Amino acid sequence: MKNLKNALLLKQLYQLKQFGYSYTSANIYKEDTQDFTLPNTLESLAKQAAQCHLCELSKTRTKVVFGEGNPHAAILFVGEAPGVTEDTTGKPFVGRAGELLTKMIENVLGLSRNEVYITNILKCRPFNNEIPTPEQAHTCQPYLLKQIELIKPKLIVALGATAYHYLTGDDTDISKVRGTIHQQNNYTIIPTYHPSYLLRNPSAKKEVYVDLLKVKELMQTVAQ
Ligand code: URA
């Protein structure tokens, strides 16, 4: 899902599927009358995302949670979707899971939160904090891909199964792939457990610690 046009087409196809269609040759988007390109700065992209109505979550969100941090960060953290605190503040990972993520960044990587960039697969809060549907994730994907293109991180840390799945297309259980390195297009992804999972399963913190040490080591290698 590289651009907005594809996201709009996909939205249309999902709608037709809900009506029972399994085939269509119709294309309602005329290239010459609409501009499907996404802006080339994070600031303008954030402004465009703030106006987004591509999926039903735009009706229930309070704020679009675009992401925040260093626009030239070497490390990009990608979570699942905003929760209630993120939806109210418009900032990613600011609830309990966010506090834990911040501690992990500071204590294990030795970086401050504003040296990295943090975002999510979905930019709007799902109803009842449900797991993003494929439709929502695919529709929102052009924003994330453009963020990656603009930030050009050396490493993307996928926080949890949802982030890993939508970044790589792979369905392997997160417990089997955590800490492993994946080359995807021009970027490198390392999956680990989501901080919310760690709040429920504190014993898994030691595995995330090991994964983040690997991140630190990789960053030292690429910096040389
Ligand atoms: N969980 C996420 O995946 N993202 C947030 O921003 C907050 C909690």
pLDDT digits (tens, 9 = 90+) for 116-132: 999 999 999 999 999 99
- Report helix, strand or coil for 97: helix
Kindly state if the Cβ of 118 falls inside 6 Å of ligand 1: no
Which one, of 174, 157, 156, lies nearest residue 165 by Cα? 174
In contact, 52 and 58? CB cutoff 8 Å: yes
Measured between alpha carbons, how far is 88 from 207 in angstroms, rounded to an integer?
A: 31
Domain boundaries, the chain: 1-28, 52-223
Of all protein residues, the one whose alpha carbon is nearest to atom 7 of ligand 1 is 93
Q: What is the CATH number of domain 52-223?
A: 3.40.470.10
Backbone torsions φ then ψ of 198, nearest 5 degrees:
-70, -30
pLDDT tens for residues 132-168?
999 999 999 999 999 999 999 999 999 999 999 999 9
Q: Which of 120, 125, 129 to mutate to test the pocket of ligand 1 (most atoms within 8 A of CB)?
A: 120
Q: How confident is the model at residue 31 (pLDDT cuts 50, 70, 90)?
A: low
Q: Are 132 and 165 in contact (CB under 8 A)?
A: no
Structural element, H or E, at residue 118: strand 117-120
Amino acid, res. 88 = T
Ligand 1 touching residue 67 (CB < 6 A): no
